[in-house]
Amino acid sequence: MAFDAGLLKCVAHEINMLSESRIEKIYQPSNDEIVVFLHSATKKAKILINAGSNYPRIAITNTTSENPQKAPMLCMLFRKRLVGANLIDIRQIKNDRILIFDFDGTTEIGDKTQYHLICEIMGQRSNIILCDCDYKILDAVKRIDESKSQVREILPGLRYEFPPMQEKCDIINDDTALIVDSILNKGEKILSKGILDVVEGFSPIVCREIAYRTIFGDKQIGLLSEIEIERLASEIEVIKAEITEKSTPQILFNTENTPFDFSFTNIRQYGNTLLKKTYESISELLDDFYFEKDKINRTKRKAADLFKLLN
């Protein structure tokens, strides 16, 4: 269950429909989460950005969160700088799990300026960082000092630096032949692991899916036939088209009808052992998936409390 770069690209495409919208409200339901209300002459939408360790994500949402009666200091800062600002661009950094929202706003004295809201969706290292026009950090959901990281500090006043980039292929911008050659150079590994090592931002389930579609299973890369290598190139092109043009948002459910995993592509590797539900948009999928996950977690917590009381 991973919010990978391919999924983020699909979400960015959905949010791009809101370009030229103005920020109306900002809330911070929890320490690691903010909700941004946008509106234009024709559209209204609510974007949820979660930097929690368990379920980090970005999506247009229809769910309602309970907000604290008094807004946290970070939320007040975000409101001060961003409420009334216009969303002018949304950028994904290479094919990594970093999304940047660019806003036209004003300074405290009313001068025009730009702000950058940087969302890093990277598991336990996820973060939401607000920067000024020169990428000086104004504040972040998670402040990172030298005691937490020797590589990169995230503190007000410092200049924002991107996380160290991995030397991997970008499926969107790199040539498919180059990607395939890089995978073939991992000859001793099995195909799904080779894809994971070579392609930037892919989750294990997508890598296994490409391998399954290529050879209907998985095997050592060095044992691939010429026909299988051609099929690998073809399946990479299919995945690229799904990311950039038309995705197939899908949730997988186990036999107990519990959400198991999700992806932007049709997952075939499990055959008929799992149930599948397809959605019109990634945002709709994420709303449903995390609503069900949250409901299950709440039930477990209540059950644990009851057992504790009974004991």
What the block records as the tokens of 299 is 């039930």
Q: Mean pLDDT score of the chain, rounded to an integer? A: 91
**Can you give the pLDDT at residue 104?**
95
Out of 183-187, 227-231, 257-261, pick the least confident.
257-261
Query: How confident is the model over 291-301, as pLDDT tens digits?
Result: 887 777 777 77
The answer on pLDDT for 180 being more than 90 is yes
Helical (H) or strand (E) element with 30: strand 22-30
| Distance separating alpha carbons of residues 192 and 212, to the nearest angstrom | 8
Pairing of strands 22-30, 33-39: antiparallel
Query: How confident is the model over 34-89, as pLDDT tens digits?
Result: 999 999 878 889 999 999 888 899 999 988 888 888 999 999 999 999 999 999 99
- The distance in angstroms from the start CA to the end CA of the chain is 34
**Can you give the pLDDT at residue 88?**
93
**Averaged pLDDT, 174-181:** 94
Query: How confident is the model over 186-207, as pLDDT tens digits?
Result: 989 999 999 999 999 889 999 9
**Averaged pLDDT, 203-219:** 94
**Averaged pLDDT, 301-307:** 82
> Which DSSP string do the residues of 51-90 spell out, in sequence order?
--SSS-EEEE-----PPPSS--HHHHHHHHHHTTPEEEEE
pTM recorded for the entire structure = 0.88
The answer on pLDDT for 1 being more than 70 is no
**Can you give the pLDDT at residue 305?**
81
**Can you give the pLDDT at residue 120?**
95
Beta bridge partners of 102: 89, 116
| Distance separating alpha carbons of residues 243 and 45, to the nearest angstrom | 22
Q: What percent of the chain has a predicted confidence (pLDDT) above 70?
A: 99
**Averaged pLDDT, 147-157:** 89
Across 91-95, 166-170, 262-266, 296-300, which has the greatest mean pLDDT?
262-266
**Averaged pLDDT, 169-181:** 92
Of 216, 209, 215, nearest to 195 by C-alpha is 209
**Can you give the pLDDT at residue 279?**
93
